[in-house]
Structure 1
């Protein structure tokens, strides 16, 4: 969410029961403005909050030039000191999928995923679970740092849930993606259609998918995957 509209955006999510108080909102907004200035970011957004046992993680992201390929993620446990989110590795993605324990709130914590997998294996009848065959207790390759787990979790959530309205981003001839300054929002009719919303991620579908399904196709606007192509369908 845009930091300039953070209070309004949080009010729209008040039905969920998870909110930031006024003090946290003020601290968060000021901290993100400082973070944006120190890192020379063109825009910065508040991604959300991941709850932990000891501390919660506050996630933010921004970009310098490219609004799609240049996204940079940051995290903090106190809304004051921010750390750069590490690059997600293939091993971190694999171990994160197996890890089911709650976040502790300590980025330096080392998690032995083999113990977590063994605990789950003992609670099911199928002892030959395919997911646990590759995990051996005590193997150093099964140690997962909570900071890496946090990065992999944020990536997984963003890939599936981050969406933008069609027309909000514009792809230049040189391939860079920028904010469309002429975008004034969707009409009421467009807002009711799933094809009016696009995934904020690198395209995974073939580039001709939108070309074959949209009569008003515009490559500068329709370069992202449409939500209406998701399986299962979201209503």
Structure 2
């Protein structure tokens, strides 16, 4: 959600429990302008809040020329002082999916978790155990990356790919029609993509994957509100991720307000 529109657009997601206090709004409005100037970002978007036991983490995304490849993530615990988050490695992503439990709110906290390795014998008894250690600041960066990969989205047509393979905002985007806005296929994942070969696709707009193909089937809910004047999407895999789009307008965005824990039981709940 663009930093200059947070105060006005966050109201579209109040029904999802996404609310900021007056103090948080005032701090964000001031500090994000300073961060954009300081880091020379083209855009700064408020990403959301991960709730910790002692303190919370606020996350923003600084975006350069390319809307997918030029992204930097910053975190804060007071909405005033921001720091660039650690670079995420494959090992960090692996560990983040193994570590369980709430975030504590202390970036220096170290998680220690044992993982049993089982033999191929019929008894199934563990023959060894490995210990996973991970600092909370590393877990935070990895979880943000995982949520972004699985949930971040834009309406079809909001972004376009240039002949030089750069992804930019589409200045001609005027919003989805009311009919198309009620279809999951009209929303695309905002993440690194692979070439999609379909005869009907437009290479300038249909280069991202749609939410319709996500698994398990049913991991997204789409609901029309305000007399079809607002569409709200929620992820059931990452409880707390919500997105909105106002049909026939340029207004869209998403936020994550949650504990940073994935709902691993979803396949058994559907």
TM-score, reference length from structure 1: 0.84
Q: State the shift of 1:231 in Å.
A: 2.1
Q: State the shift of 1:167 in Å.
A: 0.8
Q: Residue 77 of structure 2 aligns with which residue?
A: 77
Secondary structure of the equivalent of 1:31?
helix
Alpha carbons of structure 1 residues 127 and 37: separation in structure 2 relative to 1, 3 Å: farther
Secondary structure of the equivalent of 1:58?
strand
Q: Could you tell me how far apart the structure 2 residues matched to 1:90 and 1:42 are?
A: 28
Secondary structure of the equivalent of 1:67?
coil
Aligned positions, number: 213
Q: Residue 111 of structure 1 aligns with which residue?
A: 111
1:168 has 2:158 as partner: yes
Q: Could you tell me how far apart the structure 2 residues matched to 1:196 and 1:56 are?
A: 33
Q: Residue 5 of structure 2 aligns with which residue?
A: 5
Identify the structure with the greater helix proportion: 1
Which 4+ residue blocks in structure 1 deviate beyond 4 angstroms?
Answer: 126-129
Q: State the shift of 1:222 in Å.
A: 0.8
Match of 1:194 among 171, 179, 184: 184
Give the conservation status (yes or no) of the 8 Å contact 1:58–1:77: yes
Deviations along 1:55-114, one digit per CA (max 9) or x if unpaired, are 100000021211111111111111111111111112211211111121111212222122
Alpha carbons of structure 1 residues 94 and 134: separation in structure 2 relative to 1, 3 Å: farther
Pairing of 1:1-235 with structure 2 (within 5 A)? 1-114=1-114, 128=125, 135-137=129-131, 142-204=132-194, 206-208=195-197, 211-212=198-199, 215=200, 217-233=201-217, 234-235=220-221
Q: Could you tell me how far apart the structure 1 residues matched to 2:133 and 2:177 are?
A: 49
Q: State the shift of 1:12 in Å.
A: 2.0
Give the conservation status (yes or no) of the 8 Å contact 2:155–2:186: yes
Could you tell me which runs of 5 or more consecutive residues in structure 2 were left unpaired when the two chains were aligned. Answer: 117-122, 222-270
Could you tell me which runs of 5 or more consecutive residues in structure 1 were left unpaired when the two chains were aligned. Answer: 119-125
Q: Residue 122 of structure 1 aligns with which residue?
A: none
TM-score, reference length from structure 2: 0.73
Q: Could you tell me how far apart the structure 2 residues matched to 1:207 and 1:150 are?
A: 31
Structure with larger RCO (C-alpha < 8 A, sep 6+): 2
RMSD: 2.0
